[in-house]
C-alpha cells in the first residue's frame, strides 16, 4: 500500500483533481501549482496528494472566470486579505454582468427591428502596403482572461521606456505568436512604435498586409476570432502566403478601435 502522500504522476493527479495535464502545465508555468518533483532525466512531473486542495481551489476560481494573475494573489493571501480580494472580484463580476446584459439588450432590440446580428455578414478584408517600423516590445504569456490587463500594463511600461522616441503617429500592435484561449497562453508580443531604430528592440520590415476593421461589439474574445479567421484565410488565397504571426492593431490608443491584420507574401511559382 502506498503512503498517504506518496508522489503521484501527472496523469493520476489530473484524475484526482479533474484538471487536465494541459491545465496543470499552464498553472506550473504561471507559478500557481508547481510539481513536488520533476524527474531530471525524463521530465516527468510528480505531485503530492496534499496539493489537491490547492488545485481544486484554482479550478473553482477558474470556473467563475477569475484571471490567473488574480488567482495567484488570492492563493498567496489569507484571512481578511483573501476575503477582500474575493469581494473585489465579485464586484467586478457584477459590473461585467451588467455590461453584458446591456449589450444583449441592445442586440435583442436590433433583432426585433429586423436587423441581422453582427456575425451575419463575413468581415470585409482589405489590403495595404506598410512601411518599415522600429518598435520596442515585451513578450508575455497570458490566457484570454488576463489578456486586456497584460496588454495595458505592457503598453504603459513600453511607452515609458520609449519616452520621447515613441512614435505617436503609429498604432500599438499586439502580435499573437501562439494560441490564446481560456487555457492557452500565447505567447503574445506587445509592440510600441518608436521613431528611431537606435532606440528599438526590432524593426518590422516594409511589406503588405490584409486587415479587417473589427466592429465595436466584436473587440473581445471569442467574437474577434471571426476577423482572425478572415485575414488568415484571405492571406492563403489568390497566390498569397501568410508571413509571420497575426496581430491586432489598436488605432489612436483606443482599446475599442481595433483592426486584425496578417502580413503576406506572393507565391513565386
Q: How far apart (Å, rounded) are the C-alpha atoms in residues 77 and 82?
A: 5
pLDDT at 1: 47
Mean pLDDT, rounded, for 101-109: 64
Sorting pLDDT into bands at 50, 70 and 90, what band is 8?
very high
Q: Buried (b) or exposed (e) across 155-169, using 16+ Cβ within 10 A?
A: beebbeebeebbeee
Q: What's the pLDDT tens digit per position in 185-227? A: 889 999 999 998 888 999 999 999 999 999 877 888 888 999 9
pLDDT at 186: 87
Chain centre to alpha carbon of residue 220:
10
- Count of other CB atoms within 10 angstroms of residue 196: 11
258 close to 246: Cβ distance less than 8 angstroms: no
Q: Across the beta sheet with 37-38, what order do the strands follow?
A: 8-9, 45-47, 37-38
Tell me the DSSP string of 210-243: EEEE--GGGSSTTTTHHHHHHHHHHHTSTTEEE-
Mean pLDDT, rounded, for 148-160: 88
Lowest mean pLDDT among 12-16, 100-104, 124-128: 100-104
Mean pLDDT, rounded, for 113-125: 67
Residue 223: partners with Cβ closer than 8 Å, 6 or more residues away: 118, 119, 217
Q: How far apart (Å, rounded) are the C-alpha atoms in residues 211 and 134?
A: 20
Sorting pLDDT into bands at 50, 70 and 90, what band is 158?
very high
pLDDT at 126: 96
Residue 133 confidence (pLDDT) above 90? yes
**% of the chain with per-residue pLDDT over 90:** 56
- Count of other CB atoms within 10 angstroms of residue 219: 19
pLDDT at 107: 60
pLDDT at 95: 76
Sorting pLDDT into bands at 50, 70 and 90, what band is 99?
low
Cell 503530492, located at residue: 48
Q: What's the pLDDT tens digit per position in 33-53? A: 999 999 989 999 999 999 999
Strands (E), 214-246: 240-242
C-alpha cell at 79: 484571512
Strands (E), the chain: 8-9, 37-38, 45-47, 126-130, 133-140, 172-176, 188-193, 202-204, 207-213, 240-242, 247-250, 258-266
Residue 178 confidence (pLDDT) above 60? yes
Q: Counting Cβ atoms within 10 Å, is residue 171 exposed (0-12), middle (13-18) or buried (19+)?
A: buried
Amino acid at each position: 500500500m502506498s503512503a498517504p502522500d506518496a508522489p503521484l504522476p501527472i496523469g493520476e493527479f489530473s484524475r484526482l483533481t479533474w484538471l487536465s495535464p494541459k491545465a496543470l502545465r499552464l498553472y506550473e508555468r504561471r507559478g500557481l501549482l508547481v510539481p513536488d518533483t520533476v524527474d531530471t532525466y525524463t521530465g516527468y512531473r510528480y505531485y503530492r496528494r496534499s496539493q489537491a486542495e490547492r488545485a481544486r481551489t484554482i479550478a473553482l476560481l477558474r470556473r467563475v472566470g477569475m484571471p490567473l494573475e488574480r488567482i495567484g494573489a488570492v492563493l498567496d493571501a489569507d484571512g481578511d486579505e483573501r476575503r477582500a480580494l474575493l469581494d473585489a472580484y465579485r464586484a467586478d463580476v457584477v459590473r461585467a454582468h451588467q455590461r453584458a446584459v446591456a449589450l444583449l439588450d441592445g442586440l435583442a432590440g436590433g433583432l426585433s427591428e429586423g436587423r441581422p446580428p453582427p456575425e451575419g455578414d463575413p468581415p470585409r478584408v482589405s489590403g495595404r502596403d506598410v512601411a518599415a517600423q522600429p518598435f520596442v516590445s515585451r513578450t508575455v504569456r497570458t490566457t484570454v482572461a488576463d489578456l486586456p490587463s497584460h496588454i495595458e500594463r505592457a503598453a504603459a511600461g513600453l511607452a515609458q521606456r520609449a519616452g520621447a522616441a515613441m512614435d505617436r503617429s503609429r498604432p500599438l500592435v499586439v502580435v499573437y505568436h501562439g494560441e490564446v484561449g481560456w487555457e492557452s497562453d500565447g505567447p503574445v508580443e506587445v509592440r510600441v512604435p518608436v521613431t528611431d531604430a537606435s532606440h528599438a528592440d526590432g524593426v518590422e520590415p516594409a511589406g503588405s498586409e490584409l486587415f479587417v476593421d473589427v466592429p465595436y461589439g466584436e473587440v473581445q474574445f471569442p467574437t474577434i476570432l471571426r476577423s482572425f479567421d478572415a485575414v488568415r484565410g484571405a492571406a492563403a488565397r489568390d497566390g498569397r502566403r501568410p508571413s509571420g504571426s497575426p496581430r491586432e492593431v489598436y488605432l489612436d490608443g483606443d482599446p475599442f478601435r481595433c483592426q486584425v491584420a496578417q502580413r503576406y507574401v506572393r507565391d513565386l511559382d
